[in-house]
Amino acid sequence: MSKKILVVDDEKKIVSVVRGYLEQAGFSVVTASDGQQALIVFRHEKPNLVLLDLGLPEVDGLDVARTLRKESSVPIIMLTARIEETDRLIGLELGADDYILKPFSPREVVARVRAVLRRVDGVTESAQVFHAGELTLNLSKHSVLLGNESIELTPTEFGLLAALMQNPGQAFTRMQLLDRVQGQAYDGYERTIDAHIKNLRQKIGDDPQAPRYILTVFGVGYKFAD
């Protein structure tokens, strides 16, 4: 069965072009032109991934992302013409997995969608379980436990934690982590890793001032406690 993508944008031409490329790539596509409609379509259609424009009428794209994250861990890729870094970081802190700046290549959109969905589908079919203190990560089940409590992570957060836990003590640069979780390292995007690490630490109860699990390697990036 083909993966279903929800495309949310108030520009009809963009929706039409992106839809055409995604369908040509084998995806099923549903669309919405504003924030309120996006939430209705999302709840009804239950897509596998959401392409979400930030500059929406009625309900802003950031508010839509905030609501989606409260209801689901569905992957979100933001489409934005906003160049301010703060806007992108806010979106990432809300739990978005990636962002694409307008104007963009429709082929790039398809490539990013495929990359994110590959992370969701898991990196291996064999059962691999990693333990660290109260933290347990199961690759095949794509699950994380903190003690006996299940932790909901976005695909990017899960990919980061998996990369770090599989290599305890190894320091990764931001670009290396970006390449691990996205399949490609996009120049200038490496600082977005900081927003994902901040969210990840919060979810696993890791105090950034005295972390037990994810350690900052100053001048380099991050590593998992050995």
pLDDT of 139 reads: 82
Higher pLDDT, 58 or 136: 136
Measured in degrees and rounded to the nearest 5, phi and psi for residue 30 equal -120, 155
Share of the chain above pLDDT 70, in %: 88
Report the alpha-carbon distance of residue 181 to residue 162 in Å, rounded: 9
pLDDT of 127 reads: 47
Residue 124, pLDDT above cutoff 90:
no
**Residues in CB range of 40: below 8 A, 6 or more apart:** 32
Complete domains list, the chain, with CATH: 4-120 (3.40.50.2300), 129-224 (1.10.10.10)
pLDDT of 87 reads: 65
Across 65-92, average pLDDT: 80
Mean pLDDT, the chain, integer: 85
Helix and strand counts by DSSP (H, E) for the chain: 8, 12
Q: 98: which strand partners?
A: 77
Tens digits of per-residue pLDDT, 94-113?
Answer: 778 888 888 888 998 998 89
Tens digits of per-residue pLDDT, 138-154?
Answer: 887 788 999 889 999 88
Residue 47, pLDDT above cutoff 90:
yes
Residue 182, pLDDT above cutoff 90:
no
Burial track 75-114 (b if 16+ CB lie within 10 A, e otherwise): bbbbbbebeeeebbbbbbbbbbbbbbeeeeebeebbebbe
Residue count of the chain: 226
pLDDT of 67 reads: 92
pLDDT of 55 reads: 84
Tens digits of per-residue pLDDT, 193-208?
Answer: 888 899 999 999 888 8
pLDDT of 88 reads: 66
Question: 95-109, 123-137, 179-193: which has the highest mean pLDDT?
Answer: 95-109
Across 27-48, average pLDDT: 94
Residue 54, pLDDT above cutoff 50:
yes
